[in-house]
Chains A and B, each alone.
Chain A
Amino acid sequence: MFPKGTKRKFSDSGEEPVPSGEQGQPAPSAAARTLSSSYSLQRQSLLDMSLIKLQLCHMLVEPNLCRSVLIANTVRQIQEEMTQDGTWQIMTQALAAAQCPADRLVATEVLCRQTDMAAQAGQSPKPFSVVGLEEGYHSEEVVMDGDGDTEVTMSTLSTVSPQLSSASYLPGPFGMGPCWEEEEEEGECEEDEEEDSEECVSEGEEADRDHLTGDSRTGEQVFGTFEIKHPAPPPDPALEELFSDVDASYYDLDTVLTGMQSAPKMGPYDLLESLSSHGPTALSSSTSCRSDLNELDHIMEIIVGS
C-alpha cells in the first residue's frame, strides 16, 4: 500500500513541492504566506502540467499506461492535499464566480449536461471533506496574486460549471478517455463509450479551435475532461439514443482533428474512415454537436478537395 506522506503545513512548508527534506522553522506570518503561496503556485503548476500530460496522452495513438497511471496518481495526490488544505474548494468557488466566455458555450453545455446527470443521479457525497479556510491562507492569495501562472490557471478553469463540486474531480481519468476504454475487449459498457465519444467531441473541437485561434489553453480541455467523468453515472436515455449508432472509430475524432494540425500519425485513409463513419443523423440531432458537424464538413471539404 502506498502510505500517505506527512501533511504539509503552510507555516513551515518548503519552497518547492520537491522537498529538501527539511521542515523549516515557523516563519513570520508574511514570510510564511509568501512561502506557502510559492509552494501552492508550484503545486498548482504541477497539477496543470500533469493534467496537460494526461490530456495529451489521450491524443496519442496508444498511450503508455504506466506513465498515465503515474501521472494520474500524482494528480490525485495533489488533489487530496489541496482538498485537505482547503484550497481545492477555494479554487472551484473562485472559478464558479468567473465569467464563462461565450465561445466556450458548447463545451460548457456538454459539461453541464453531464453535471446535471450526475446531480439527477444523486451522487454520493464527496469522498473528501472540504476543509474550511485555514489560517494563513486566503482566497485573495490565489486570485489576486498577480502572478501570470495563477491567472492562467484561473482562466483555464473558467468552463467549470457552477454546479460542479469537488466531487467531480474524483479520480476518473481511466474511464474518461478513449484510450482506457478502448483497451477493453469485451464487456465494454455502451454508456462509457457514449460518454467518451461525447467528450471526445468537445475535446477535439476545443483542440481544433484552440489551435486555430492560436491560444493554447489545453488546460481548459483537461479540466473539462475531468469535469465530465463521474464514477459511473446512470445512462441518460436521451444520450444513449443519440449515440447509439456511433461506433468505436468515433473515439478518434479528437485524434483526427488534432492530428490534422500536427503531423498525423494516421494516414489519410484513416482520416476518411473515421470521418465517413460519422453519419450526419447521429450528430444533427443534438444542438451541442451542430458545430461539430460544421467542423466535420469543413474537414471533409479539405480532404475531398471540393
Chain B
Amino acid sequence: AAVWLGYLLNSALSLFPADIISTVEFNYSGELLATGDKGGRVVIFQHEQESKNRPHLRGEYNVYSTFQSHEPEFDYLKSLEIEEKINKIRWLPQQNAAHFLLSTNDKTIKLWKISERDKRAEGYNLKDEDGRLRDPFRITSLRVPVLMPMDLMVEASPRRIFANAHTYHINSISVNSDHETYLSADDLRINLWHLEITDRSFNIVDIKPANMEELTEVITAAECHPHQCNVFVYSSSKGTIRLCDMRAAALCDRHSKFFEEPEDPSSRSFFSEIISSISDVKFSHSGRYMMTRDYLSVKVWDLNMENRPVETYQVHEYLRSKLCSLYENDCIFDKFECCWNGSDSAIMTGSYNNFFRMFDRNTRRDITLEASRESSKPRATLKPRKVSTGGKRKKDEISVDSLDFNKKILHTAWHPKDNVIAVAATNNLYIFQDKIN
C-alpha cells in the first residue's frame, strides 16, 4: 500500500450545518474536484501546477469556483420543504474549454456550465469603457476592439434545469457513456434524460406498488455502465442489485441480471435487512466489475456472476455487536459511499470517527486512516489507525466504545489517474496524496 502524505485543504470553514459536505467528485481528468454541501452550494477546486519550491508534492487544489446551485424550495401542494442539499454531482466529459457538471438536490437536477474569462474587449466604438453609449456625433474614427487580459474570472451559469420528474427523493444521477443521456433515480423510479431536453424524460424503472402499504423495498442507488450505453444497474434496500438492458424493453422493470448474496442464517438478526441495504453501487473503470457498499462491508461483484460477490471486505465488523445502539441513534441508516482507484486495483470507503478504509485488491492488504486536523499536518505521513476488538487494547488503538459516531466519512473520491484522494469529514475536505519517489 502506498505511503500516504496528507495535507489538509479547506480547514474548518465553519461549524454551521449548511456547510456539511454532501458529495465529492473528481472530473474525468482529475484536474477539477467538485463538492456540494447541505446549503446548496457547489465549490470547485482546481489542481495547481507543481510549485517549484515543493517539487515532491503534486500541487495543491485551490478554490476555482463557488456558486449557489440550489435554493430551498417549498412544495405548496404538499406543504413540505424541499431541501437545497446537493445529493450528487456528476461531471460531463469535457468537450470544449468550458466544464459542465450535473448537480441535484432531492427534486431538481441542474446542468451547470463553468467557464473562464480572462480577456476583456476594450475599445468599442459605440460604448464607453463603462458601458455608456457614446454620442454618435462624437465618433470621428473607427477602431477595432482589442482583447486585453484581465483577472481570471470563473463563471458558473445554469444551462438546463431538469425539474418536476421525481415524486420521491433523488438519490443518484449518472451520465451515460454516450454523453448525450443521463439517468436520475429516486426511491421508487428511475428516469432517463437527454441532456438537451428538459421538459420530458423517460421513465425506465418503476417499483412503486399499486398500494403503498405493500411497499417493502426502495431503490438506493443507480449507475450507468461506463462503456455500454444500454446497461445500467440499480441497488435496493434489500441488498439486491439489478442490471438492466435498455434495449430489452422501454420499461426496465424486468432485470437482465439479478445480484444477491444468500443470507448467512447463523448471523441473522432483526437488523439483517437493514445492514444489507446497499448505500452505494459503482462500476469499475473497466466495466467488468461493480462494487456495492452495505452497512458493514464492501463487496466486489463480477458482472458475469450473480449469485455471490467475488470479493468481500469488512469495513468495521466490530460494529456488528453494536447494531442495536446504532439502530437507536439512527447511525445504522448512514449511507456510506465507496470508490475505485483509477486502475481498479484498490477501493476506498469511509467509516466512523473520521476513519476511512482502503483495500488493495491484489495484495488483500487494508489500511485504516484518519481524516483529522491533528493527523494531517502538511508533509506528514498518515499513521495507520486500528480499532481494538478484543479485550486488551494495545497502545495507539482505539476501543469501539470511544469511537465518535458523529464523525462519519460518508463521501470519498479517488482521482481518476493519480493516487490522490478527497475525503469529506463533515464540513472539512481533506485531500491526500501519496509520496512521489
A, B in one complex: yes
The CA-CA distance from A53 to B332 in the complex, in Å, is 13
A195 shortest CB reach to chain B, Å: 12
**Which of A19, A69, A248, A265 meets B77, CB within 8 Å?**
A248
**Assuming the A-B contacts A17-B324, A232-B211, A252-B79, are A183 and B168 also in contact, with contact meaning beta carbons closer than 8 angstroms in the complex?**
yes
**Inter-chain contact B324/A16, CB cutoff 8 Å:** yes
CA distance A266 to B72 in the complex (A): 12
Bound together, the chains give a CA A251 to CA B78 distance in angstroms of: 9
| Interface status of B180 (Cβ within 8 A of chain A) | no
B265 at the interface (CB under 8 A from A): yes
Cβ-based interface call for B270 (8 A): yes
B270 touches A251 (CB 8 A): no
Given contacts A69-B215, A69-B216, is CB(A62)–CB(B169) below 8 Å?
Answer: yes
Contacts A18-B269, A18-B271; A183 near B81 (Cβ below 8 A):
no
CB contacts (< 8 Å) of B247 on chain A: these are: none
Give a binary string over A130-163; 1 marks a CB under 8 Å from any B CB, 0 the rest.
0000000000000000000000000000000000
A306 at the interface (CB under 8 A from B): no
Chain A positions within 8 Å of B320 at CB level: 18
Question: Are B269 and A74 neighbours in the complex by a CB distance under 8 Å?
Answer: no
Instruction: Evaluate contact between B79 and A62: CB separation under 8 angstroms.
Output: no
A-B contact count (CB 8 A): 120
Q: How far is the CB of A168 from chain B (nearest CB, A)?
A: 13
Say yes or no: B328 contacts A231, CB within 8 Å.
no
Asked if A167 is an interface residue, CB under 8 A from chain B, the answer is no
- Cα–Cα distance between A173 and B324 once the two chains are bound (Å): 22
Q: How far is the CB of A25 from chain B (nearest CB, A)?
A: 16
Residue B274 at the chain A interface, CB threshold 8 Å:
yes
* Residue B323 at the chain A interface, CB threshold 8 Å: yes
Does B277 contact A18, Cβ atoms closer than 8 Å?
Answer: no
- Residue pair B212, A180 in contact (C-beta under 8 Å): yes
Q: Flag A193-228 by CB within 8 Å of B: 1 or 0 each.
A: 000000000000000000000000000000000000
- With A46-B324, A248-B79: A67-B333 Cβ-Cβ less than 8 Å: yes
CB of B257 closer than 8 Å to a CB of A:
no
Shortest CB-to-CB span from B90 to chain A, Å, is 21
Question: Given A62-B80, A266-B81, are A183 and B167 neighbors across the interface (CB < 8 Å)?
Answer: yes
Q: In A153-185, which residues have CB < 8 Å from any B CB?
A: 171-175, 180-185
Q: Which of B79, B167, B267 has most A Cβ within 10 Å?
A: B79
> In the assembled complex, which residues on chain A have CB atoms less than 8 Å from the CB atom of B328?
49
Asked whether, in the complex, the Cβ of A19 is within 8 Å of the Cβ of B268, the reply is: yes
Closest to A42 in B: B324
The residue of chain B having its C-beta at the shortest distance from the C-beta of A251 within the complex is B79
Is B82 close to A, CB under 8 A? yes
B-chain residues with CB within 8 Å of residue A284 when the two chains form the complex? none
Binary per-residue interface labels of chain A (89-128) against chain B in the complex, 1 for a CB within 8 Å, 0 otherwise: 0000000000000000000000000000000000000000
Q: What is the number of residues of chain B that contact chain A, defined by CB distance less than 8 Å?
A: 45
The answer, yes or no, to whether A249 is at the interface (CB within 8 Å) is yes
CB pair A2 B273 closer than 8 Å:
yes
Does B238 contact A2, Cβ atoms closer than 8 Å? yes
With the chains together, A174 CA to B211 CA distance in Å? 9
Contacts of B220 in A (CB 8 A): 66
Q: Is B237 an interface residue (CB 8 A)?
A: yes
Q: How far is the CA of A16 from the CA of B266 in the complex (A)?
A: 14
Residue in chain B with minimal CB distance to A76: B216
- List B residues 68-103 near A (Cβ within 8 Å): 77-83
| A18/B274 in contact, CB under 8 A | no
Give, as a whole number of angstroms, the nearest-CB distance from A124 to chain B.
14
In whole angstroms, how far apart are the Cα atoms of A173 and B211 in the complex?
12
Contacts A3-B263, A73-B273, A185-B167 known; A61 to B218 CB distance under 8 Å?
Answer: no
Q: Mark A25-66, 1 if CB is under 8 A from B, else 0.
A: 000000000000000001100100100010000000110111
Residues A265 and B81 in contact in the complex (CB < 8 Å), given A2-B273, A69-B218: yes
B12 nearest CB across to chain A (Å)? 25
Flag whether A272 is at the interface (Cβ < 8 A): no
What residues of B have a CB within 8 angstroms of the CB of A69 in the complex?
Answer: 215-218, 237
B78 touches A182 (CB 8 A): yes
Q: Are B211 and A65 in contact (CB under 8 A)?
A: no
For B213, what are the chain A residues with a Cβ–Cβ distance below 8 Å? 171-175, 229, 231
Tell me which residues across on chain A come within 8 A of B405, comparing CB atoms. Answer: none
- Interface hits, B272-289 → A, CB 8 Å: 272-274, 277
Q: Which residues of B contact A43 (CB under 8 A)?
A: 270
How far apart are the CA atoms of A57 and B282 in the complex, in Å?
30
A184 touching B270 by the CB < 8 A rule? no
**What residues of B have a CB within 8 angstroms of the CB of A6 in the complex?**
265, 268
CB of B277 within 8 A of CB of A17, answer no
Instruction: Find out whether the CB atom of B79 lies under 8 angstroms from the CB atom of A70.
Output: no
CB closest chain-A residue, reference B77: A248
| Residue interface mask A259-284, B partner, CB < 8 A = 1 | 00000011000100110000000000
A64 to B270 CA separation, bound complex (whole angstroms): 20
- Chain B nearest CB, measured from A146 CB (Å): 23
Question: 14 A–B contact pairs at CB < 8 A?
Answer: A3-B263, A6-B268, A18-B321, A19-B269, A21-B267, A62-B169, A66-B277, A73-B216, A74-B273, A180-B212, A182-B79, A182-B80, A184-B167, A251-B79
Q: What 4 A-B pairs have minimum CB-CB distances, sorted nearest first?
A: A5-B268, A175-B213, A174-B212, A65-B187
Q: A46-B324, A66-B237 are in contact. List 7 more A-B contacts (CB 8 A).
A: A49-B328, A61-B81, A78-B270, A172-B213, A174-B215, A183-B168, A251-B79
